[in-house]
Structure 1
Amino acid sequence: MNVLLKLTNVAVYVGDTCLLEPISLSLNQGQPLTILGQTGSGKSLLAQAIMGLLPADLRVSGEIEVFGEVMALEERQALWGREMVMLPQEPWHSLDPLMKGVDQVKEVYQFVREKDVQEALALANDDLRYVGLEGNGHKRPDELSGGMAQRLAITAATAGGAHVILADEPTKGLDVSRRDGIVQLLQARSNLGSLLTITHDVTVARQLGGVLLVIKKGRLVEQGEATQILDFPQDNYTRELIAAEPCAWSDMAPTIRNNSAEDILTADNLRLERGGRTLFDGLSFSIKRGEVVGIVGDSGCGKSSLGDALLDLLPISAGKLTRINKAAKPHQWLKLYQDPPSAFSASVSLGQLLDDLVTLHGIDKARIAPLMSRLSLPQGILTRNCLAVSGGELQRFAILRALLLDPVFLFADEPTSRLDPITAKEVTTLLVELASDAGCAVLLVSHDAALLQKTCHQVIAI
């Protein structure tokens, strides 16, 4: 069995502080390798070290061997696209915001695989059809849902035919059918090479099979065959990850303290159209103070668009929408974005963003530290910008920022899609408690029917 990638005592440091303890592994041809662990555990640092994408203030030690040769940083970077490719955790970081989706895939076939224009276009359309984006190739990334953009990014990245594919959280934000389709696509694309996948999704790790590594806080705690580890975990942390899947949660929907609580929002026969297509029609419901309402449906069905319409960010096409709580200030009707980078400026630190929020709204700074602790956010991230933290950390920071504004209505668009099961349960519990304690209505979008069943008073299917 050919070894395509071999790591010997690879570690990552910032200054003298070890962020990722030494790890040794081999990625064999045709044998998938999966790294499972909590958000911020160091999984993405390992992938960045392999590819040569670590931030300038981090350094790597140990040996990285590719195709039988120990390679320096510049040598590995020369393999990008044709022999090695990394699927980034955030699709927006790898897509051209001004280019149609089909053209982004076509370019890879044209300039990496050296296909003529017509064949490249045909292959690109075939790929988009395979991942459920048929009819959406003419759209720019900002015109796609988060899940659709993720599928486009994966399709473009794998079109070059690289033998070593590193996939960083490739299925986050996807419904079950799309998640399974992406796993199958990655397996097919890595058929002649091999696949290293970083995930916090236990189901994905089980589907991929092969070799599994479990990492906690930068340290390898368990390694072996995926089936053996997931069926018979030896480490308490691995058991905790498995037990934190939503299907194992107890019912946590809060009791609405006042059974006669007033409606905060009503929708009557809503219809919404986008891009000449009707997303939904005849949708009616009401939401009370302190109520948790779930929205479920496949990627691209209009879940995010519905939430935006309720916040008056999108016009409705027909029907009547009434926001009843007139005492609330505009900034108390809030949205947690599915892709948090789209809600932050990279030009300043996260700490500066918090300082601006405190100054603008007269917030008591003493509230920040307890909330950061509750959301498992280290103080150190406040010195970094939004591009220098993990996707999960940024999502939790977005929740921190929202909570500081005392929302009366919070549209949470896939708020746990970037979080591992343990942190996802903690964050979901916090949102549910917010609804109960502060009388805040929470509109919760998720692809996970089990999560909604355990947390919501009502579920709207689109």
Structure 2
Amino acid sequence: MSMRVNNLTVTFADKVLADVAGLTFERGRPVTIVGESGSGKSLLAHAIMGTLPASLTARGSLHMDGTTYDLEDRTNRRSLWGRTMSLLPQEPVLALDPTMRTREQVAEGAGTFRTDKRAALHTATTLLGSLGLGPAAGAFPHTLSGGMAQRVAFAAATIGNARVLIADEPSKGLDERARAELASLLQRHVDGGGILISITHDLDLARELGGDVLVMKNAHIVETGPAAAVLQDPAHPYTRRLLAAEPANWNHSWTRGGASIETTGDPLITADGLTKTYGRQRLFSGLSLSVHQGERVSLSGPSGSGKTTLGNVLLRLLPPDSGRVHHADELRGGRLQKLYQDPALAFAPGAALRHSFGDVIRRHRLDPARLEELMASLRLSPALLERMPGQVSGGELQRLAIIRSMLLEPALVFADEPTSRLDLITQEETITSLMDQVERHGCALMLVTHDRTLADAVTRRRVGLGVDAGSEAMLTTPA
């Protein structure tokens, strides 16, 4: 089996969003598409699947198994969904039904679901267990961490054994161990004779999968070839810039040692003897730490180990089971800010973005020119503020959340995976802007991230949480 795409274009009104002359996908040879946000990577995948938004138009043809499909027809591939072609979506939380337990909604994709529901549920339970999600089989999506939700979505996308699997940012939100397990599962699909198309910002995943890499920029493919060649000795300047944007290659003033940890004076946050348990899982016990002005600390650990929970306890958004948290007076008046892993949670869905920013500016009597300054520093058009939160990309919304938090010149920012939706180049630009504000105002930073190289580049101390088979471990080390 092979699949060929010819003369594919995706347009919005008269604007071309993706333009690819021809691509061939072979069984047993993965293809990974990389490039900046907005380059057309996901649109290419959705055009192949037939799942583009109604406002966009696809043209071209898809050839598979002796059949030719007109890409402009949105309905002619629906019979292939789940059995021949399957899509692992970019936003797993939005793809999962919040009213269904994970086992049931994964089982719906099994080939036996309509004829033998019990067998389908058994298959779903086995698949979830192989992904390390056995205890979460009866859970609702809102109780899962971001990484766990991603793995549930992967299970739902693959249980039907579709020969063509399109994975849109499959490793987003996963820790290193879970990402390695995911790469192994994707490789198993390839080794079984399947076609794999991955869209990712994660160049390490592209390296692990091998096969071919396509680099997209401004709707076009600018470089293509074997993964080893493209990612080791790129020919195109944009590909070289993309590789330079990996955190391990950053070279900024704040990555070269930076300020030492400030241990004199009063801390901004002091925590003593914190314990928190969910169900039968104890996330942390007897944990004590402090965060001082200007200090940069990362919280690391596998998905579901309690990093976000610890942050919420430290911010006093969630009470501990035992222990206490003290905040210094410097954190009053909005000077303690949180950047959410899912930025959609930070904005009212029914209000234009300008209202969210206008409320902050009026309430705290801020200079509106500061908003313009921050928007320009992150390459965001002021026109975005006229849109609703659901009308901008996840990456744009994440940068807007950073801007709103920095308007108040906070004393401490708790950043929960603040760049998880950004491509490498935009991530570097965003972190650079964030660190410029952090250093300019002597702001403390607590960073939650699965990316060890990002933590090493940005922070000077690491608090690690680890949960394995019901036991917990906690350590604090220099980053």
By the TM > 0.5 criterion, same fold?
Answer: yes
* 1:65–1:295 CA distance, 2 compared to 1 (3 A): same
- SS of the residue corresponding to residue 225 of structure 2 reads strand
Opposite residue 160 of structure 2, the aligned amino acid is G
Aligned to 1:453: 456
Deviation for aligned residue 1:318: 1.4
Aligned to 1:65: 63
Opposite residue 25 of structure 1, the aligned amino acid is L
Q: Equivalents in 1 of 2:30, 2:300: separation in Å?
A: 31
Opposite residue 154 of structure 1, the aligned amino acid is F
- SS of the residue corresponding to residue 263 of structure 1 reads coil
Q: Equivalents in 2 of 1:54, 1:383: separation in Å?
A: 24
Opposite residue 10 of structure 1, the aligned amino acid is L
Residue pair 2:61, 2:68 contacting (<8 A) in 1 also: no
Q: Equivalents in 2 of 1:10, 1:287: separation in Å?
A: 52
Deviation for aligned residue 1:211: 1.6
Aligned to 1:204: 205
Aligned to 1:135: 135
CA RMSD of aligned residues (A): 2.2
Q: Equivalents in 1 of 2:350, 2:175: separation in Å?
A: 33
Q: What are the equivalent positions in structure 2 for 1:83-98 lying under 5 Å apart? A: 83-98=84-99
Q: Equivalents in 1 of 2:396, 2:436: separation in Å?
A: 20
* 1:245–1:31 CA distance, 2 compared to 1 (3 A): same
Q: Which moved more, 1:34-43 or 1:351-360?
A: 351-360
Residue pair 1:205, 1:212 contacting (<8 A) in 2 also: yes
Aligned to 1:304: 308
Residue pair 2:417, 2:448 contacting (<8 A) in 1 also: yes
Q: Equivalents in 1 of 2:31, 2:261: separation in Å?
A: 48
Aligned residues: 458
Is the counterpart of residue 315 in structure 1 residue 315 in structure 2? no
- SS of the residue corresponding to residue 108 of structure 2 reads helix
Deviation for aligned residue 1:263: 1.0
Q: Equivalents in 2 of 1:325, 1:174: separation in Å?
A: 36
- SS of the residue corresponding to residue 215 of structure 1 reads strand
Unmatched 5+ stretches in structure 2? 466-479
Opposite residue 165 of structure 2, the aligned amino acid is I
- SS of the residue corresponding to residue 155 of structure 2 reads helix
Residue pair 1:291, 1:435 contacting (<8 A) in 2 also: no
Deviation for aligned residue 1:70: 2.2
Residue pair 2:378, 2:399 contacting (<8 A) in 1 also: yes
Q: Which moved more, 1:298-307 or 1:24-33?
A: 24-33
* 1:125–1:23 CA distance, 2 compared to 1 (3 A): same
- More relative contact order in 1 or in 2 (CA 8 Å, sep 6+)? 1
Q: Deviations over 1:170-201 (max 9, x none)?
A: 00111111011112212323533211110011
Q: What are the equivalent positions in structure 2 for 1:17-28 lying under 5 Å apart? A: 17-28=15-26
Q: Equivalents in 2 of 1:299, 1:259: separation in Å?
A: 30
Q: What are the equivalent positions in structure 2 for 1:104-115 lying under 5 Å apart? A: 104-109=105-110, 114=114
Deviation for aligned residue 1:127: 1.0
Deviation for aligned residue 1:80: 1.9
Opposite residue 285 of structure 2, the aligned amino acid is D
Q: What are the equivalent positions in structure 2 for 1:39-188 lying under 5 Å apart? A: 39-67=37-65, 68-71=67-70, 72-109=73-110, 114=114, 116-188=116-188
Residue pair 2:316, 2:325 contacting (<8 A) in 1 also: no
| 2:329 aligned residue (307, 314, 325) | 325
* 1:246–1:189 CA distance, 2 compared to 1 (3 A): same
Q: Equivalents in 2 of 1:207, 1:224: separation in Å?
A: 15
Opposite residue 388 of structure 1, the aligned amino acid is Q
Q: Equivalents in 2 of 1:24, 1:360: separation in Å?
A: 54
Deviation for aligned residue 1:253: 5.5
- SS of the residue corresponding to residue 293 of structure 1 reads strand
- SS of the residue corresponding to residue 212 of structure 1 reads strand
Deviation for aligned residue 1:414: 1.0
Opposite residue 143 of structure 1, the aligned amino acid is T
Aligned to 1:444: 447
Opposite residue 340 of structure 2, the aligned amino acid is Y
* 1:267–1:252 CA distance, 2 compared to 1 (3 A): farther
Is the counterpart of residue 415 in structure 1 residue 418 in structure 2? yes
Q: What are the equivalent positions in structure 2 for 1:256-275 lying under 5 Å apart? A: 260-275=264-279
Q: Which moved more, 1:372-381 or 1:28-37?
A: 372-381
Q: Deviations over 1:140-172 (max 9, x none)?
A: 111111111111111112112222111110001
Q: Equivalents in 2 of 1:281, 1:36: separation in Å?
A: 41
- SS of the residue corresponding to residue 73 of structure 1 reads coil
- Give me the identity figure in percent: 42
Aligned to 2:340: 337
Aligned to 1:214: 215
Residue pair 1:9, 1:22 contacting (<8 A) in 2 also: yes
- SS of the residue corresponding to residue 8 of structure 1 reads strand
Residue pair 1:171, 1:179 contacting (<8 A) in 2 also: yes
- SS of the residue corresponding to residue 173 of structure 1 reads coil
Opposite residue 171 of structure 1, the aligned amino acid is S
Q: Equivalents in 2 of 1:203, 1:127: separation in Å?
A: 25
Q: Deviations over 1:266-296 (max 9, x none)?
A: 1112111122321011211111112111111
* 1:386–1:116 CA distance, 2 compared to 1 (3 A): same
Is the counterpart of residue 7 in structure 1 residue 5 in structure 2? yes
Aligned to 1:294: 298
Post-superposition, which runs of at least 4 consecutive aligned residues in structure 1 deviate over 6 A? 256-259
- SS of the residue corresponding to residue 6 of structure 2 reads strand
Deviation for aligned residue 1:216: 1.5
Deviation for aligned residue 1:248: 2.0
Q: Deviations over 1:409-441 (max 9, x none)?
A: 211111122222222222222332322212222
- SS of the residue corresponding to residue 356 of structure 2 reads helix
- SS of the residue corresponding to residue 132 of structure 1 reads coil
Opposite residue 426 of structure 1, the aligned amino acid is E
Aligned to 1:237: 238
Deviation for aligned residue 1:136: 1.4
* 1:82–1:343 CA distance, 2 compared to 1 (3 A): farther
Aligned to 2:401: 398
- SS of the residue corresponding to residue 460 of structure 1 reads strand
Q: Which moved more, 1:384-393 or 1:203-212?
A: 384-393
- SS of the residue corresponding to residue 402 of structure 2 reads helix
Aligned to 2:472: none
TM-score (norm. length: structure 2): 0.89
Deviation for aligned residue 1:258: 7.5
Deviation for aligned residue 1:9: 2.1
Residue pair 1:110, 1:116 contacting (<8 A) in 2 also: no
* 1:373–1:267 CA distance, 2 compared to 1 (3 A): same
Q: Equivalents in 2 of 1:157, 1:55: separation in Å?
A: 20
Deviation for aligned residue 1:380: 4.6
Residue pair 1:431, 1:442 contacting (<8 A) in 2 also: no
| 1:354 aligned residue (357, 364, 370) | 357
Q: Equivalents in 1 of 2:149, 2:20: separation in Å?
A: 34
